[in-house]
Amino acid sequence: MIHFIKKLFTGETIDNPEEKQAQAEEKHFDILKYDGIRALRIGKFPYAVKCMEEALSIKDDAETRGYLVSAYVQLNQIEDACKLLGETLEKEPQNIDNYIMLGNLFFMQEDYKGMLGVIQRGAQIEPEHPQIHYLLAKAYHGIHDEIQAIAELTIAISLKEDYYEAYLMRATILLKMQQIENASEDAERMFQLAPDDEQSLLMLGEVNYMKGDTLKAEEYFNKATDINPFNEKAYLSIIQILSEEKKWEQAMEKLNEAIEINPESSQLYHHRGHLKLLMGDKEGSAEDLKKSLELNPEKEQQISGEFRNYTNPYKINNPLG
């Protein structure tokens, strides 16, 4: 320290080779790190990765690791991101954000068991973190343990009463389990929290459809299309109801409207083709099914089979489940 102060006031240069090397490395690290951050912000992700990997080879730095994870994700290098986050967890076992990030990456890979293990470790760190319980629910749902998923969602909601995403997920699971009244309560709560959100309108539509109130269901689905005209599920749900009520002309009008707004939708042409066949327009049906195939060639085998064995188009790919 005395030697440093002496140099500071006398203007002596640093003649210690190790000290010179350390300062040079620190400067090089800073250049690489901040070049990497700038590259990340302007979307030059490969360069960002290169800079930050080199920076970390000079010095371990938590912030740089975090930016590098983000760059890996942008490049869809999910395995690299998971590996780096796993190493980070060992170095920073108390940082709950890393558990959440790694859990979400496992979710992206559909590795629900891996996700469950990571988030359970996070729950030991912060047992009353609502997002941790929400992610546990997603993991349990991924491995088809719906009872445990509902339990975790209930905990998440108890910790955060306005947890919209948790209500949505719980309502979706309850509806599939035919627990319609419970799903209805969650749908109503969603609507209270976000009355103009298309997800809450869709959920209310589905709940009312399951209750048999198709008039109210159609009303909510129409509101969803007003908010988002590109919402195919809402349109197909309306068409489902109109078709079941044998309102063929109204269903066709709705399909034409949907296709005008979404001309690149394979699914809409697919459904219109079946509706035309039902209405006796075989030529028009074939044209629409052909157009559906052009937009989504992977459906060729499915559509061919459906065309041959056609009974009711709205039992196929039913948007209401």
For residue range 146-185, what is the model confidence (pLDDT) as tens digits?
A: 999 999 999 999 999 999 999 999 999 999 999 999 999 9
- Say if residue 317's pLDDT is above 70: no
For residue 51, the tally of other CB atoms under 10 A from its CB is 25
If residue 66 lies in a helix (H) or strand (E), which one and from where to where?
A: helix 62-74
Q: What is the mean pLDDT of residues 129-145?
A: 97
- Average pLDDT of the chain is 87
Could you give phi then psi for residue 208, rounded to 5 degrees? -70, -35
- 139 Cα distance to chain centroid: 13
In order of start, what are the domains of the chain with their CATH numbers?
229-321 (1.25.40.10)
- Say if residue 61's pLDDT is above 70: yes
- Say if residue 314's pLDDT is above 70: no
For residue range 110-130, what is the model confidence (pLDDT) as tens digits?
A: 999 999 999 999 999 999 999
Q: What is the mean pLDDT of residues 35-42?
A: 91
For residues 169 and 203, the answer to whether their CB atoms sit within 8 Å is no
What is the predicted pLDDT for the residue at 22?
A: 77
For residue range 248-282, what is the model confidence (pLDDT) as tens digits?
A: 999 999 999 999 999 999 999 999 999 999 888 89
**Range with the largest mean pLDDT of 8-22, 273-287, 304-318:** 273-287
What is the predicted pLDDT for the residue at 308?
A: 38
Residue matched to tokens 């063929």: 248
For the entire predicted model, the pTM comes to 0.80
Candidates 230, 250, 300; CA nearest to 270 is 300
What's the pLDDT band for 32 if we cut at 50, 70, 90? confident
For residue 313, the tally of other CB atoms under 10 A from its CB is 23
What's the pLDDT band for 1 if we cut at 50, 70, 90? very low
Could you give phi then psi for residue 246, rounded to 5 degrees? 60, 30
- 238 Cα distance to chain centroid: 25
For residue range 283-298, what is the model confidence (pLDDT) as tens digits?
A: 988 998 998 898 888 7
What's the pLDDT band for 300 if we cut at 50, 70, 90? low
What is the predicted pLDDT for the residue at 191?
A: 96
For residue range 217-251, what is the model confidence (pLDDT) as tens digits?
A: 999 999 999 999 999 999 999 999 999 999 999 99
Residues 6+ away with beta carbon under 8 Å from 299:
266, 270, 292, 293
What's the pLDDT band for 27 if we cut at 50, 70, 90? confident
What is the predicted pLDDT for the residue at 166?
A: 98
Q: What is the mean pLDDT of residues 300-308?
A: 46
Residue matched to tokens 């990340």: 40
Residues 6+ away with beta carbon under 8 Å from 184:
207, 211
- Say if residue 305's pLDDT is above 60: no
- Dihedral over Cα of 246, 250, 253, 254: its sign: negative
How far is residue 301's CA from residue 289's CA, in Å, rounded to a whole number? Answer: 12
Burial of 88 (0-12, 13-18, 19+ CB in 10 A): buried
Burial of 131 (0-12, 13-18, 19+ CB in 10 A): buried
How far is residue 192's CA from residue 185's CA, in Å, rounded to a whole number? Answer: 11
